[in-house]
Structure 1
């Protein structure tokens, strides 16, 4: 699709090792052994498996407990993706090229959509990561004890930890490339734009979780059932509102940068927004970890918690293999010319993700040992009215 091969995207593609002039069509399949390096198919498999498990878990929860929350979360994340990502890939086609140039380019993977712009694993990472964060927070009983808003903030915080482990490694391993001089990417935190660190790692999952819990989750916890039509309509509404929320939540930083004319000032405000999230989430999560009573509405989500542990192990292995080049990097760039992320920040995120997961596992184990009935509002499949 050469007419959509803008100079910026063509340059990014060349740096990643492929040509946008020949980057397939709506769907393209490639030999996984012929990709840029071996880490690409490993990442791809890891994330896609996570999305499949999250979908399977959502189906089980719906059928067994008449709880569509995870189905809405899964498809709400996909709806958000379909609203947010295409304009970023094709600003000209959406009539915004005068305001937004290409911000980044993904490398080509085994399965790609939209002329090399959208790898399948990116589609998968939205529901996979959202499910991990949501389930950890719900498992700890945050929604039940503190309500929808605080619960959503905690989801954003946990998601941020899991996501930034991946975000700070991607540029070095050529999973994607950022446009360095794009104003919407400024300022950079090592190899990652600070707006991405805050908006895509924390604010969008926070917005999604807020909408999912407000429109579905809290009602299910109260014993309400939804018809299939209601679930579909609420999923669409959630995808749209979560997208709007992702535009509203960063407004303080956007306004600060516009008023001051300085992306540095905007970056400071972005960082302050993240600090506020952390200040709220950390005490709540720590308090819930020490809480003696497990949340009976969380149900059994061992499959999601187990996958989260596998994800952390895989990321640790990928980081370990990238560490020699990272340590030999000069001025933030490896000998191969790839930018490196922040190792200390990644270690902090590993610690937060690991502790959050350990807390959720402990709560799950305690619930099992105490004989807590999973999902206290559950009904049999024959009793629910989903699909009526």
Structure 2
């Protein structure tokens, strides 16, 4: 078997408009004007630009403010990607055909790695989103008041709402395609998006990674750290993150098999609901604490005020452009033959993301407000 372009991968690639045959093993470049559709270079610019912006912000947090969490979280995200993604792209290389199978295929973007399986924007997506969520939650003072564990739960919720706006749009716009033949992993699903992905990749991974980074590289993890000290803690946090995903997937995974899809759906739905309830409670509590003056307002970094709004705004515009085809879809498939996501869930996530963003901006803006004159 050709483990770089097996039958399922070739079938998905053809549906996305390219061939996985004769792909470059290391890197391939394409014109951004010759991609499958015009949304793809927009997405690349948004995510890659966000990752660069996040790196600059993380560096300043470390060198100017003495806090290595941001820089550690940025690079831990890349380590996590290096650990988790190759087995998903090439299950045959790792002997996982029977346990995982071929799950999905990315479309080809301007810059591709690993036999066209890994777009550059996906490499950038993890550090961009982890910084986005962490900074919003930090701005609300959740970590300061509630500590690393509950702060990381709030990050898991923040990632859920920002990630799923993207996750439920991508298949319709041919950013990637899920393998419908892999019912073991890709079912149950909410519209076109596997619920396993919604829980594990959009929440558990980011929450667990944030917790590990804050505990290992934060000020509670050993005081002032040198570069090598941050480096090994970062590597451990990124490499250990998939273990949390395995643990959380165990309850639904115990019911894999014929006739048990409803049980899996109920378990995954309950776990997703728990993420929402915990996240909403923690963020509402942070908002009440700020209103009561129990939390010292934080500085208002440019990253918090600009990038989350840009991310949300661009995705809303892309969703609006996709709505005509969405509403014309038949049986969950557009006239172009692409599956649609869940509009109601994406809208719910967008509303929560907008509320979270507004609360964080309001909280940090208080820092810049002049002190009242006391007579």
Q: TM-score normalized by structure 2?
A: 0.94
For structure 1, the residue ranges without an aligned partner over 5 or more in a row are 372-388
Q: Which whole-Å deviations, capped at 9, do the CAs of 1:92-128 have from their partners, x for residues lacking one?
A: 1122223222100000000000011000000000010
Q: Tell me whether 339-348 or 18-27 shows the greater mean CA deviation.
A: 18-27
Q: Which whole-Å deviations, capped at 9, do the CAs of 1:207-244 have from their partners, x for residues lacking one?
A: 11111122123527xx9211111101100110122121
1:77 and 1:126 in contact (8 A); partners too: yes
Trace 1:94-243 onto structure 2 (pairs within 5 A): 94-182=94-182, 183-219=184-220, 224-243=223-242
Instruction: Please state if 1:255 is matched with 2:232.
Output: no
2:297 and 2:364 in contact (8 A); partners too: no
Q: Tell me whether 268-277 or 298-307 shows the greater mean CA deviation.
A: 298-307
Q: Tell me whether 156-165 or 294-303 shows the greater mean CA deviation.
A: 294-303
The residue number in structure 2 matching 1:285 is 283
SS at match of 2:177: strand
In 1, distance between residues paired with 2:302 and 2:281? 24
Q: Which whole-Å deviations, capped at 9, do the CAs of 1:163-204 have from their partners, x for residues lacking one?
A: 000000000000000011311111111011111111111111
In 2, distance between residues paired with 1:257 and 1:98? 13
The residue number in structure 2 matching 1:270 is 268
Instruction: Please state if 1:75 is matched with 2:75.
Output: yes
In 1, distance between residues paired with 2:298 and 2:228? 25
| CA RMSD between the two structures | 1.8
In 2, distance between residues paired with 1:224 and 1:299? 22
The residue number in structure 2 matching 1:385 is none
SS at match of 2:91: coil
SS at match of 1:83: helix
In 2, distance between residues paired with 1:109 and 1:280? 36
SS at match of 1:129: helix
1:48 and 1:124 in contact (8 A); partners too: yes
SS at match of 2:93: coil
Aligned residue-pair number: 368
For structure 2, the residue ranges without an aligned partner over 5 or more in a row are none
Q: Which whole-Å deviations, capped at 9, do the CAs of 1:1-29 have from their partners, x for residues lacking one?
A: 95521101011101101000033231110
1:80 and 1:243 in contact (8 A); partners too: yes
